[in-house]
Amino acid sequence: MSDKASPTRPTHCIDCAKPMESPICCTHCGSLNPVPLVSINYFEFFDIKPGYDINQDELHKKYLCLSRTTHPDMAGRDSDEMRNRALMLNAELNRAYETLKDPIERAEYLLALAGGPTPSDDKSVPGDLLGEIMMIREEIEEAKSTNKTPMLETLKNQICQKERTVREQIAVLARSLDKNDPTNKKAMRKQLNAIKYWNNLLEQLPTG
């Protein structure tokens, strides 16, 4: 993975000539970037170093500032064209923020940036995960049909613990993505597939 800025990223604002901290808009004068954002990655939107470990406060602060600057109702945005441009950039900004703030979404995004397998390329899961999931699912059904609340609690704790373990493994693998090792990427794909199974199980449990 490279931390080099994308070549299409504007370095200076075309209106006020100040350095652009984000390729989305100029936070000095509010000028919106007219260049397409396609080849610019989400980390660059916020001018933060690509990686699993990010400063959440910094991300949030920058998001709020960019969100205000790209607001379609901001002064001077009188034409439909300007408003539409603002709406588009604002939507793209929100997508970037939602992706980077969530650790699993962020890991998934980093894997894609590193050229790793997508969920449709590779649906495999680690070891005997499917058997384990099936067993717990049956236990949930049984506990639900017999109204066994303590049993559901135990199952919930068990699933949460499994989910946490997978989450930790994803973090470890995501931190070593820069080694560009295909085995590592494949292992990460498997864990990212696995976490969806655990989260689906959690959704089957009654809340509260």
Query: Three-state DSSP class for 79?
Result: coil
Identity of the residue, 28 or 83, whose beta carbon is nearer to Zn ion in the bound complex:
28
Identity of the residue, 26 or 194, whose beta carbon is nearer to Zn ion in the bound complex:
26
CA 50 to CA 188: how far, in whole Å?
A: 17
Identity of the residue, 29 or 135, whose beta carbon is nearer to Zn ion in the bound complex:
29
Identity of the residue, 16 or 134, whose beta carbon is nearer to Zn ion in the bound complex:
16
Residues that bind Zn ion (CB under 5 A): 13, 15-16, 26, 28-29, 31
Please report how close the Cβ of residue 18 comes to Zn ion at its closest, in angstroms: 5
Half-sphere exposure of 173 (CA within 13 A, CB side): 27
Please report how close the Cβ of residue 31 comes to Zn ion at its closest, in angstroms: 4
CA 207 to CA 115: how far, in whole Å?
A: 37
Q: Which two structure tokens, joined as six digits, stand for 186?
A: 């494949």
CA 97 to CA 146: how far, in whole Å?
A: 43
Q: Where do runs of H (alpha helix) occur along the chain?
A: 42-45, 56-69, 80-101, 103-113, 129-145, 149-175, 182-204
Please report how close the Cβ of residue 105 comes to Zn ion at its closest, in angstroms: 31
Identity of the residue, 28 or 144, whose beta carbon is nearer to Zn ion in the bound complex:
28
Please report how close the Cβ of residue 52 comes to Zn ion at its closest, in angstroms: 32
CA 138 to CA 134: how far, in whole Å?
A: 6
Please report how close the Cβ of residue 28 comes to Zn ion at its closest, in angstroms: 5
